[in-house]
């Protein structure tokens, strides 16, 4: 096997949120392939490289482009936002890669939006959580509904990716209505827009309020479990440690 393709998660956007391994893979590449927005986010540092993009939705073409370039003997890096193995192109690359046995694939981990968004809000994922995408482009809506109900039943913190798009404006409302079948209206929720990019915006609210919020496609939504709360303006999920309460500390001093 001689050809190599690095499938690189670039994190949420800012270069300092990219791992050293990801930066190294991009530095070593002859050609960087990715969706236009991500290539633009890479900034000055990589503008000297050969940059190739295909529009949104042309994921298969983007992957095939990588294999084509690798066959020419170039070192190829395919960039995805966040982590390439979380709603990214890593698995599609392996599927398509079956037809290119002479090319070896390497996945380079990145900080996914659940992780970077959680850090903005506080510590909402500090106990069991699950991640659900509201996009029904590749998953039937009935499956998404089933997973939402199951997550609520399991008392997981829920992270929603792809909460909205131009064609799916009311999906967050529909998801909240499903959760409200079993979760109380006051449940702690939050969402972060443009994590690690210009215009980062974080909001805290409850589930009933979340139902009526308009969020865009660059937003990640967090719905707390029964162990979640707002503490000092931050969204946290308790892990269950038994800590000394302030009153006890006062008594001891």
- Would you tell me which residues interact with ligand SAH (CB under 6 A)? 12-13, 80-83, 86-88, 112-113, 117, 161-163, 192-197, 217-220
Cα 7 from Cα 168, distance rounded (Å): 29
- Output 3 or 110, the one with its CB closest to ligand SAH: 110
- Output 25 or 195, the one with its CB closest to ligand SAH: 195
Q: How far is the CB of 7 from ligand SAH (least distance, A)?
A: 11
- Output 3 or 85, the one with its CB closest to ligand SAH: 85
Q: How far is the CB of 242 from ligand SAH (least distance, A)?
A: 34
Sheet holding 50-52, edge to edge: 50-52, 31-33, 76-80, 3-9, 103-108
In contact, 9 and 109? CB cutoff 8 Å: yes
- Output 182 or 214, the one with its CB closest to ligand SAH: 214
| Chain residue at closest Cβ approach to ligand SAH | 82
Q: How far is the CB of 116 from ligand SAH (least distance, A)?
A: 7
Q: How far is the CB of 202 from ligand SAH (least distance, A)?
A: 10
């Amino acid at each position: 096997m001689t050809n190599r393709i690095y499938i690189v998660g670039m994190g949420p956007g800012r270069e300092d949120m990219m791992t050293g391994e990801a930066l190294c893979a991009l530095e070593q590449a002859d050609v960087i392939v990715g969706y236009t927005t991500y290539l633009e986010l890479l900034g000055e540092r990589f503008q000297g490289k050969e940059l190739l993009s295909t529009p949104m939705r042309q994921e298969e073409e983007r992957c095939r482009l990588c294999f084509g370039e690798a066959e020419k003997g170039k070192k190829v890096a395919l960039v995805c936002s966040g982590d390439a193995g979380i709603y990214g192109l890593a698995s599609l690359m392996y599927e398509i890669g079956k037809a290119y046995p002479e090319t070896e694939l390497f996945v380079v981990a990145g900080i996914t939006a659940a992780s970077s968004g959680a850090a903005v809000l506080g510590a909402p994922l500090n106990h069991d959580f699950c991640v659900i995408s509201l996009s029904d482009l590749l998953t039937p809506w009935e499956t998404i509904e089933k997973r939402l109900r199951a997550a609520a039943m399991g008392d997981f913190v829920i992270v929603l990716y792809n909460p909205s798009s131009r064609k799916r404006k009311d999906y967050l409302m529909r998801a909240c209505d499903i959760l409200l079948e079993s979760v109380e209206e006051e449940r702690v929720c939050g969402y972060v827009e443009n994590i690690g990019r210009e215009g980062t915006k974080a909001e805290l609210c409850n589930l009933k309020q979340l139902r009526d919020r308009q969020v865009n496609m660059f937003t990640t939504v967090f719905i707390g479990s029964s162990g979640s709360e707002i503490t000092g303006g931050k969204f946290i999920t308790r892990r269950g440690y038994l800590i000394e309460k302030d009153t006890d500390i006062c008594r001891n001093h």
